[in-house]
């Protein structure tokens, strides 16, 4: 923010730390999404963590570098795909004459809780994780793009418009 000296990014320290941390944050987000059915967490929390990872990347490295990993178009496509996937899982439950969103994959109930023990719950968690993370990243990306362009037009003597 105030330390924004490089074009479209933050200082070297922040960028180096981000380079090390981003994979772990992503991993933690995916873990929270996948294990939401046996421990606290789930698609909503994990999705926000994943979105945070990409937002940290955007803040530290600038929009151009992040767009190479995850462009806004791809994020929008993924968000829509997640929503359709959720809907598809719900419709797939209807195939055998069951109800919409019926849990048709659930196994024997006495089994130890494992990754797949929840049936469609796991699929829905993943779908929600994708929807939440991509939607929020998209919202942030659009907001930040707006700020940069506004800074250009609004403050004439900014020097470098794309700082942070």
Binding site for another protein (CB under 8 A): 1, 32, 36-45, 47-49, 51-52, 55, 59, 76, 79-80, 82-83, 86-87, 90, 100-101, 103, 106-107, 109, 111, 113, 117-121, 124-125, 127-128, 131-132, 135-136, 138-140, 142-147, 149-153, 155
- Least distance to another protein, CB of residue 4, Å: 10
CA pseudo-torsion sign 48, 49, 51, 56: positive
- Least distance to another protein, CB of residue 1, Å: 6
CA dist 133 → 81, 128, 147 (Å): 12, 8, 21
CA pseudo-torsion sign 67, 83, 27, 137: positive
Give yes or no for a contact between 82 and 137, defined as CB atoms under 8 angstroms apart.
no
- Least distance to another protein, CB of residue 14, Å: 14
Give the nearer residue to another protein in terms of CB position, either 69 or 142. Answer: 142
Nearest to 59 by CA among 17, 91, 29, 95: 17
- Least distance to another protein, CB of residue 99, Å: 9
Give the nearer residue to another protein in terms of CB position, either 19 or 73. Answer: 73
Nearest to 63 by CA among 154, 148, 139, 131: 148
């Amino acid at each position: 923010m105030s330390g924004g000296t490089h074009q479209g990014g933050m200082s070297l320290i922040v960028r180096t730390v981000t380079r090390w941390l981003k994979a772990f944050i992503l991993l933690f987000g995916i873990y929270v999404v996948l294990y939401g059915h046996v421990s606290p967490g789930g698609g909503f929390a994990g999705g926000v963590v994943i979105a945070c990872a990409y937002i940290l990347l955007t803040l530290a490295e600038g929009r151009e570098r992040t767009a190479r990993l995850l462009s806004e178009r791809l994020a929008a496509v993924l968000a829509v795909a997640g929503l359709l996937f959720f809907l598809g899982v719900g419709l797939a439950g209807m195939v055998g004459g069951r109800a919409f969103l019926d849990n048709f994959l659930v196994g024997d109930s006495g089994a130890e809780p494992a990754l797949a023990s929840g049936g469609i719950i796991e699929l829905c968690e993943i779908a929600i994780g994708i929807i939440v993370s991509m939607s929020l990243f998209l919202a942030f990306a659009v907001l930040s793009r707006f700020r940069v362009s506004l800074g250009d037009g609004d403050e004439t003597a900014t020097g470098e418009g794309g700082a942070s």
